[in-house]
Amino acid sequence: MANLVLLQEGQAIPYPVGDGETVVGRHPDCTIQLKSNTVSRRHARFTKRDGQFYIEDLGSGNGTIVNGTQLQKEQPHPINHEDRIKFGPMLLRFECEEARPVAQAQAAPAPVAPKIPAGGDDFGGDDDFGATVNFSDEEEDEAEIMGTLVGSGAGGGFGGLDVQPEVKLKAVIDITRSLCGETNLDKMLPAILDTLFRVFPHADRGCVLLKDPDKGGEMVPRAFKHRREGEDSTVRLSRTIVKKVIGDKTGILSADAANDDQFDASESISNLAIRSMMCVPLLDKDTEPIGLINIDTMNPVTQFTSEDLDLLMTIAGQAALTYENARLMKSFLEKQKQDGEMNIAQGVQQALLPDKLPKPEGWKFYASYDSAQAVGGDYYDAFDLGDGKYVLSFGDISGKGVPGAIIMSRMSSCVQSTLQFTHDPLEAVNAINTHMCANAAEGRFVTYNFVLLDINTNEIQLVNAGHMSPMILKPDSSIDEFPEDSIGLPIGVMEDYPYEVEKRVINPGETVVLFTDGVDEAMDPEGELYTLERMRELISKSPREPEELGKILLADVRRHANGRAQNDDITIMTFGREG
């Protein structure tokens, strides 16, 4: 008669194995039912042929291991008296004194692929680790932890470390040296586990889990380690323990999870059959949990002690701070790289702006450009068309920063290429609008002023596409503006929009002011806007010389902001006819 003996909770529970087919699994229809979420519904099968028993893994989630060798799936393997069998972490022994011993070829260890237990979640994963982390099934996890487990557990036990203060100090120094100068986070976490395995020589398996902000703070395994090749390397955690460690920021020690009175109410923990485990949080400088470290041993004789837990908490504290420093250093280096790229982008954008303005006889020009960020979405340019004609191109792209700067560069190149084919204001604006409407980015448009200045007639022709009307300072200090009904839709909103041309002679002593909404919408610390009214009042009291007027306006906007950070790009262009 053959028996499969389950070794659990200090007991040996025999299950008969018949001469026919014996299926082992969690499902009630199995010949041998093992009520554990770590066992698949149909986990393995025993058969007998010619007096020899064979065991076959039926594609289980956590694998079948015989004498330390993981079986290939659906390939019968001979089994003899007193062979050790593991279904995941569950330990069993095959007993059949009549079984004929057969020389067993050493099977190559099968890779432990990440599997999702029936009804549960798989938190493991990367084949590069060669191990997995499985959490207990949520529907079966009805654990309720009674009491607080802060640095306490079973206590005593065999094989525990006799931790002295000098041992703790040595461990902290060891972890510091191991991680010193390391900024690669993927290399740092395995180094933490390597150090822990040196400090705790009886540890069989370990893992580090970190919160993933991209997954809503979900705990994600980032590093694994197991001591013996070929053994089951799957690390199993209970959600009850994880929630306790993270929620209470405390370490948990269990000398034997199946016998620990603290976890009597938790079936999920008992099913894990962990002989001894420690789980501690990784806390950042603000004592907020960023992850956890878990190590366990399957040796029923050697158990971790409360002194071990205290030592692990100390090491985890130092490891967490070192990890945080490395993470901040990595962020700093990435920020430096980003700043360098933004400086390059800023230089490219500045190169798109004119390095000098026209200087026709009897006229003066001035422009200033101040972006709210490294790059901006405002735009201005000036072109000498010859024969005494000049184009002033002035616009404000919706949005600021990098998106605005990209549209600004496109607008700049579009205007330049258009003016190579036409100098007529209406034709030019229509062509620019058609181009910008094609493949336009959703929600991105340009408010725009196209000004053609003819110094032969002292006349300007204005096409206004959704921008504020220029203000014209007259010699009597009054302000003149173009009518509101002359303002059309912004560029890039509607193809074939019928824009209009407004004409006006610039008389001696008159100065034209073009500006973006970063001027009139500048805010002070209390959120009050600069407003168009204040702008008109200031311009009417200012000198008519274009450069002096532009600088006075910019200074007054800064004065109104009173130290408040600039919330939009500020661009001013002034030009005028000498008196």
Beta-strand pair 52-57/32-33? unpaired
Dihedral, CA of residue 561, residue 567, residue 573 and residue 579, to nearest 10:
-20
Could you tell me if 276 and 255 are in contact, meaning their C-beta atoms sit under 8 angstroms apart? yes
Do 316 and 208 contact (CB within 8 A), yes or no?
A: no
pLDDT of 352 reads 75
Axis-axis angle for helices 185-199, 165-179 (nearest 10): 150
SS (H, E, C) 513-536: EEECHHHHCCECCCCCECCHHHHH
Backbone angles phi, psi at 453, to 5 degrees: -105, 125
In 3-state terms the chain splits into helix, strand, coil percentages (rounded to 5) of 30, 30, 45
Buried b (16+ CB within 10 A) or exposed e, 446-460: bbbbbbbbbbeebeb
Q: CA-CA-CA-CA torsion for 147, 148, 151, 152, nearest 10 degrees?
A: 0
In the prediction, which pLDDT does 336 show? 81
Residue 184: predicted pLDDT: 67
Token look-up 């390095």 returns 355
Q: Which among 244, 253, 197 is positioned nearest to 219, based on CA atoms? A: 244
120 Cβ neighbours under 8 A, 6+ residues apart: 37, 134, 135, 136, 137, 138
Contact by Cβ (8 Å): 10, 2: no
Res 371: pLDDT = 84
Cα–Cα nearest to 37, from 262, 174, 214, 239: 239
**If you ran DSSP here, which 8-state letter would residue 118 be given?**
T
**Phi-psi sector, 528: left (phi>0), alpha (psi -120 to 50), beta:** beta
Q: Residue 238: CA atoms inside 13 Å, Cβ hemisphere, count? A: 29
Asked if residues 31 and 43 have their Cβ atoms less than 8 Å apart, the reply is no
Q: In angstroms, rounded to a whole number, what is the distance separating the alpha carbons of residues 309 and 245? A: 13
Question: Which one-letter amino acid corresponds to residue 153?
Answer: G
Main-chain dihedrals φ then ψ at residue 171, nearest 5 degrees: -65, -40
- The pairing of beta strand 276-283 with beta strand 289-297: antiparallel
173's tokens: 């120094």
Give the model's pLDDT for residue 125: 35
Q: Which 8-state DSSP code applies to residue 356?
A: S
Q: The tokens 């009897």 sit on which residue?
A: 362
Q: How far is CA 350 from CA 358, 381, 409, 436, 447, in A?
A: 18, 11, 10, 22, 20
From CA 509, how far away is CA 473, in angstroms rounded? Answer: 8
Closest alpha carbon to 436 in 463, 416, 411, 417 = 411
- To the question of pTM greater than 0.85 for the whole model, the response is no
Residue spans of beta strands (DSSP E) within 434-557: 446-454, 459-465, 471-473, 479-481, 487-488, 502-505, 511-515
Burial of 46 (C-beta count, 10 Å sphere; 0-12/13-18/19+) = buried
Distances (CA, A) of 541 to 510, 549, 553, 572: 14, 10, 11, 17
Give Cβ neighbours of residue 507 (< 8 Å, ≥ 6 apart).
Answer: 458, 474, 475, 577
Helix or strand (DSSP H, E) at 261: none
Single out the residue of 169, 221, 171, 225 nearest to residue 194, CA to CA. 225
Handedness of CA 215, 219, 223, 224 (dihedral sign): negative
What tens-digit pLDDT sequence spans the chain (579 residues)?
789 988 775 577 889 998 889 999 989 899 999 888 778 889 999 999 888 999 999 988 888 999 878 898 889 999 998 888 988 778 888 988 765 444 333 333 333 333 323 333 333 333 334 445 666 544 444 333 322 334 333 333 223 334 455 655 666 677 767 666 656 667 778 888 888 888 888 888 888 888 887 777 788 888 888 876 555 556 667 777 888 888 888 888 875 444 444 444 444 444 444 457 888 998 888 888 888 998 888 766 667 878 788 888 888 887 888 777 777 777 777 888 877 777 776 677 677 788 899 999 999 999 999 887 767 778 899 999 999 999 999 999 887 777 777 888 888 889 999 999 999 999 999 999 999 888 766 667 899 999 999 999 999 999 999 999 999 999 999 999 999 999 999 998 899 999 999 999 999 999 999 999 999 999 999 989 999 999 999 999 999 999 999 999 999 999 999 988 888 889 999 999 987
CB 47 within 8 A of CB 95: no
